[in-house]
A = this chain, B = another copy of it.
Amino acid sequence: MRTERVRLFDASAPLVLASGERLTEVDVAYETYGELTPERDNAVMICHALTGDAHAAGWHPGDRRPGWWDTLIGPGKPLDTDRFFVVCANLLGGCQGTTGPASTDPATGQPYGLDFPLLQIADFVTVHRALLEHLRIPRLLGLVGGSLGGMQVLEWTLRHPEQVENAVIVAASSRLSAQNIGFSAVGREAIMRDPDFHDGQYSAAGATPATGLSIARMLAHITYLSEEAMATKFGRRIQDPEQTGPGFGVDFAVESYLRHQGDTFLTRFDALSYLYLTRAMDWFEPFSEHDPADVAAAGTRVLVVSFDSDWRFSTEHSRAIVRRLEAARVPVAFREISSPWGHDSFLLEVEPYHATVRAFLDRALDRSVPG
């Protein structure tokens, strides 16, 4: 269950991006859980969200918490590793083992920085398909992702429906709103205007745009929670009950929480990856490129899930996906789950959500058994 790393593209077989640009060294970090059947027909691929990684489930030595989707993936869980072979890989452009803008450019021996090519979500799919080829998995029983991961699932399903038998798209969007783009833009400005950004060459300069990245994270974090969830968790609680009047420190518990989120993020995420991955989300608009009729023809089944308190990617985003798929007669199920926790619900153990995913994947397995 430790993270594996494999070189999938090199100078002899470079990665050609959707933009036409090339990368001559692409490594991919991934983990697998469960056993692949001899027929190689029980694979479920997991697509992670903006700040996720390949470590989706289980515990690594030294872990203070398990993989980010451990509530969903494991023996007897909705993504039951006694029955499914689960694969999760870090995204292209990421910073947790897969090649990204902080990696070394083989042409210069220096980190790419902003010389790394701009990415599209289609590129994430290309790289993950190469991983499946490496693992000799021709076809996925399931493809599951939340938030940016759900966007990747949608792109993959539209682009290569023949490879995806069952797709689960959670808390995602097929078209970011101006407000969505605005929040990401402010985070990117905070990073790029940090004097320690050094035009993206901060590691060569021995620096890191810590202020910008933590501001971006704090801001984003507010949008991942519902107002109700923040009221429940923090309300107007004063951090230090001895404090009786205003100051410019951490007066309120919610400030302490956000600052902690910003600080810990620095230990696990890279500012350049934040720029590249959020920008790919902004431009994502798959229905302008793909005809969902191909999905219907391939027989792919789709489950779309949203959460009623999610205001970052509201139910309206999910409904828009459902409408486009339904109009093309794709078999699509849609559930709006009631959960108070906002966008973050997709990471949490929300019972009706897990039950819905479990039932959909159980049916997937039933159907795949030759009978």
Give A266-285 as 1s and 0s: 1 = Cβ < 8 Å from B's Cβ atoms: 00000000010001101101
> With an 8 A cutoff between CB atoms, is A175 at the interface?
yes
Contact indicator A176/B236 (Cβ below 8 Å): yes
In the assembled complex, the CB of A221 is this many whole angstroms from the nearest CB of chain B, namely 8
Contact indicator B252/A181 (Cβ below 8 Å): yes
Q: Could you say which of A192, A194, A211 has the most chain B C-beta atoms within 10 Å of its C-beta?
A: A211
Complex Cα–Cα for A275 and B247 (A)? 10
Complex Cα–Cα for A85 and B235 (A)? 41
In the complex, residue of chain B having the shortest beta-carbon distance to the beta carbon of A215: B190
In the complex, residue of chain B having the shortest beta-carbon distance to the beta carbon of A211: B193
Complex Cα–Cα for A195 and B211 (A)? 10
Contact indicator B279/A185 (Cβ below 8 Å): no
Contact indicator B183/A246 (Cβ below 8 Å): no
Binds B, one of A30-38, A253-261, A324-332: A253-261
Complex Cα–Cα for A339 and B14 (A)? 53
Contact indicator A282/B252 (Cβ below 8 Å): yes
Q: How many residues of A contact B (CB 8 A)?
A: 53
In the complex, residue of chain B having the shortest beta-carbon distance to the beta carbon of A285: B236
Pairs across A and B, CB under 8 Å, 25 listed: A118-B245, A118-B247, A118-B248, A175-B236, A177-B236, A179-B225, A179-B231, A181-B254, A182-B230, A182-B254, A185-B255, A185-B258, A185-B259, A186-B218, A186-B219, A186-B258, A189-B262, A190-B190, A190-B215, A193-B211, A236-B285, A246-B283, A248-B279, A251-B279, A251-B283
Seen from chain A, the residues whose Cβ lies within 8 Å of a Cβ on chain B are: 19, 114, 118-120, 175-179, 181-183, 185-186, 188-190, 192-195, 211, 214-215, 218-219, 222, 225, 227, 230-231, 233-236, 245-248, 251-252, 254-255, 258-259, 262, 275, 279-280, 282-283, 285
Known: A179-B230, A186-B219. 19 other contacts (CB 8 A): A19-B245, A118-B246, A118-B247, A118-B248, A176-B236, A177-B230, A179-B225, A179-B231, A182-B218, A182-B222, A185-B218, A185-B252, A185-B255, A189-B215, A190-B190, A219-B219, A246-B282, A247-B279, A251-B283
